[in-house]
Structure 1
């Protein structure tokens, strides 16, 4: 019985092709409706173009959504930028005191900042690169990449105190008071000699 169905189907295909001079091809719609048993079930189960398109769009959303940065991410970048600023002349001299007295307070200020901003804003925060050289104060800023504004600025000021010598005063400013107030992080004594320029 199955062989008879196949034979009738093939005969009809050939007959129609000959009679219509090839205008109706075996891939035409009518053949799809001719014998439902011939439909491959895997074709019916195959996802449509719409499903594939929706899957691609979902993949794009998942790939584009970067994970939230953590406090550790900011702390690691902060330390890197600090030592870039200190350079090879200042860094080795102040490293130990910076690590024990100053940097834990920087970590604390970063953690408080991360806690205060919501997830949406946190996603856009980055640590600035290129600390300033010469005797300029900027170590690094934490910046909102979307609004291009600084959320918190970490600075070090070189102070010359008569009869005493040079000190490095570490502090930060926040956007909440328009960067007007100094939040003290501590200071490190250099010596009575003029310190080298930053980045040197």
Structure 2
């Protein structure tokens, strides 16, 4: 039940702030345990003691790509849940987290490994998933050129005698977005699923 509330909270914050403010991961430690985790405590004490030290610019540059990747992955999950909406997310959310999102992360990381550290700083993620019956979840683009690097989609498929499935897949710029690279399928039911973003 707590995971459902967490997802609802993330979606609510994303919708209310139009994706400009992202919830801090430390919030979940407080909600789950009632107190900050040891890592949070360590970071707080480390940060307060480091206020007197000088941080060299080179060390900041080394951290930027990792921070960019983490924020990109967080935004990817957030855009996925926005796409699902409040009617689909509670039904497929757990299976998405277990089966699809780890593969989605791998695809993003594989795409980003082809870029140099400077280019990773400018990578952007689209913030408007398609509604109705459109497939687009989000695109990851080169922020400098505006060209898409990878596109993530979900297609609703009706299989005879089985029912409806959600097929998660992506397309890459390497083959001009022609090939479907499947991430996995999630079964909905025999009933027609609701529209995206509903």
Common fold by TM > 0.5? yes
The structure with more radius of gyration: 1
SS in 2 for 1:74: helix
Query: How big is the shift at 1:178?
Result: 0.2
SS in 1 for 2:171: strand
Aligned partners of 2:154 and 2:169 also within 8 Å: yes
Q: Which residue of 2 aligns with 1:114?
A: 112
SS in 1 for 2:137: strand
Cα distance in 2 for partners of 1:97, 1:169 equals 13
1:57-72 matches, cutoff 5 A: 67-68=64-65, 69-72=67-70
Aligned partners of 2:68 and 2:121 also within 8 Å: no
Query: Aligned to 1:93, which of 91, 96, 103?
Result: 91
Query: Aligned to 2:161, which of 149, 153, 163?
Result: 163
Q: Which residue of 1 aligns with 2:3?
A: none
Q: Which residue of 2 aligns with 1:141?
A: 139
Q: Which residue of 1 aligns with 2:38?
A: none
Cα distance in 2 for partners of 1:108, 1:148 equals 22
SS in 2 for 1:110: helix
Q: Which residue of 2 aligns with 1:150?
A: 148
Q: Deviations over 1:76-96 (max 9, x none)?
A: 000000000000000000011
Aligned partners of 2:137 and 2:154 also within 8 Å: yes
Cα distance in 1 for partners of 2:118, 2:176 equals 22
Cα distance in 2 for partners of 1:100, 1:183 equals 18
Cα distance in 1 for partners of 2:104, 2:77 equals 9
Query: Aligned to 1:192, which of 165, 190, 193?
Result: 190
Cα distance in 2 for partners of 1:118, 1:158 equals 36
The alignment's TM-score, normalised by the length of structure 2, stands at 0.66
1:2-41 matches, cutoff 5 A: none
SS in 2 for 1:199: coil
Instruction: Count how many residue pairs are aligned between Structure 1 and Structure 2.
Output: 138
Cα distance in 1 for partners of 2:148, 2:162 equals 34
Cα distance in 2 for partners of 1:90, 1:131 equals 14
> Alignment RMSD, CA only?
1.9
Query: Aligned to 1:83, which of 81, 84, 87?
Result: 81
Q: Which residue of 1 aligns with 2:17?
A: none
Q: Deviations over 1:110-156 (max 9, x none)?
A: 11111111123212101110100001000011011111111000100
The alignment's TM-score, normalised by the length of structure 1, stands at 0.65
SS in 2 for 1:186: strand
Query: Aligned to 2:171, which of 170, 173, 180?
Result: 173
